[in-house]
């Protein structure tokens, strides 16, 4: 698995920007206390928690796309969307967050099945991370585990929506039965989290 210098930079910037955006969401700041809050122990703790949960969920989601694409003979690299990252940070400051930090772009000859499996790899990685997070929550670190569980369930469900550039649209185009099965373990739990828990 090879990573270009640009790809490593984009992954690092996206990871840090997402950590910052979610930290700003959970530890609100204003123009009058920005410096004080950013230097506070509460903010630094939140930043570390966001990097370890949201950041890792995002990184492994994107790297799963890359691993499967490379397995199918594709040239694949992550590219950050710096405009959307800036919007995420601004949204965190405003108390509302939408994050679309970038995507893995791949090229080469590919079948519809391979394309569908590449798309499916990201959300299924988040499902696996959600299960791992549940174990962490129930055993060693409830706060870290809960945040990891929450973000991975939502990330898996959101990405499987069959719309536009989201993974779900690609999976549905490849196979309706595969999409239906994936939706049960991704969109189902996300709806449960949003409307029941």
pLDDT for position 197: 67
Beta carbons of 104 and 77 less than 8 angstroms apart:
yes
**Residue 46: which region, alpha, beta or left (left: phi > 0; alpha: psi -120 to 50)?**
alpha
Residue 173 designated active-site: no
Structure tokens at 98: 């939408």
Cα 64 from Cα 184, distance rounded (Å): 20
Mean pLDDT by 10 residues, the chain (197 residues): 92 95 86 79 93 95 97 95 92 84 91 96 97 96 94 95 93 97 95 81
Q: 3-class DSSP state for residue 171?
A: helix
Beta carbons of 67 and 120 less than 8 angstroms apart:
no
Beta carbons of 169 and 142 less than 8 angstroms apart:
no
Q: 3-class DSSP state for residue 74?
A: coil
pLDDT for position 125: 98
Q: Which of 7, 36, 45, 62 is catalytic?
A: 62
Which residue, chain included where needed, has tokens 């369930």? 153
pLDDT for position 19: 94
């Amino acid at each position: 698995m090879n990573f270009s210098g640009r790809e490593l930079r984009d992954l690092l910037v996206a990871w840090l920007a997402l950590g910052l955006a979610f930290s700003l969401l959970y530890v609100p700041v204003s123009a009058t206390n920005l410096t004080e809050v950013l230097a506070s122990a509460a903010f630094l703790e939140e930043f570390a928690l966001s990097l370890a949960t949201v950041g890792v969920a995002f990184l492994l989601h994107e790297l799963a796309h890359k691993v499967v694409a490379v397995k199918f003979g594709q040239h694949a690299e992550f590219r950050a969307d710096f405009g959307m990252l800036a919007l995420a940070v601004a949204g965190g400051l405003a108390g509302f967050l939408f994050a679309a930090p970038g995507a893995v772009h791949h090229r080469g000859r590919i079948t519809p099945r391979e394309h569908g499996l590449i798309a499916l790899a990201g959300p299924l990685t988040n499902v696996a991370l959600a299960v791992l997070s549940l174990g962490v929550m129930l055993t060693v670190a409830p706060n870290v585990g809960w945040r990891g569980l929450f973000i991975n369930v939502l990330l898996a469900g959101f990405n499987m929506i069959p719309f536009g550039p989201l993974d779900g649209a690609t999976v549905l185009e490849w196979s309706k039965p595969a999409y239906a099965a994936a939706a049960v373990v991704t969109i189902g739990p996300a709806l449960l989290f949003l409307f029941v828990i």
